[in-house]
Structure 1
């Protein structure tokens, strides 16, 4: 988690910081082979040098970005979650619960789908 500390330390709201720490700790516990990193000033997790999932924070929400392929694959579940979303990210308002089962599916899909990927982003 040490690599993510600079990002976490920039989150002014202590409750939001704790929430992000909890999400990151869950990912590291559930997917210990993923490598946390900061790129483009955002925290993300990679597998064999390829992007798996990224995060950002805003005043009203945390954003989860798993790449468009994962968003398309789980579009119905994302819609059912009630989270705001675009084609590239999910917005989880600070007062909404985190759907860890959805996060798990997004991460597992990207790990499997990108197992042979040799680039950071899908082509």
Structure 2
């Protein structure tokens, strides 16, 4: 599991991104369970995630951040990256971010993809 924290901070909300291999829904569930063993991530407001399975089938979860999972799916499709789960975590800071939250999800995924390429 690779984690990048402190990616974005905006109006009190903080973002992190995590990722790792996942070839099935069972592996996604195991990854999320493992991530949430860390109390910091368990207490997060949202753990939005997506993966393109090795056969290209997209799976996603918005975890209350409507539409954010699809943002991650689209970025994985553009990167042609299968078998890698990406989780964007948000700790809500008390102020609504509107459409900026999607930009922050994109920033987090871009950071993870850039670190993955290294």
Asked whether the two chains share a fold, i.e. TM above 0.5, the reply is no
Higher share in strand: 2
After TM superposition, the score normalised by the length of structure 1 is 0.29
- Identify the structure with bigger relative contact order (alpha carbons < 8 Å, sequence gap 6+): 2
Structure 2-normalised TM-score?
Answer: 0.29
More helix by share: 1
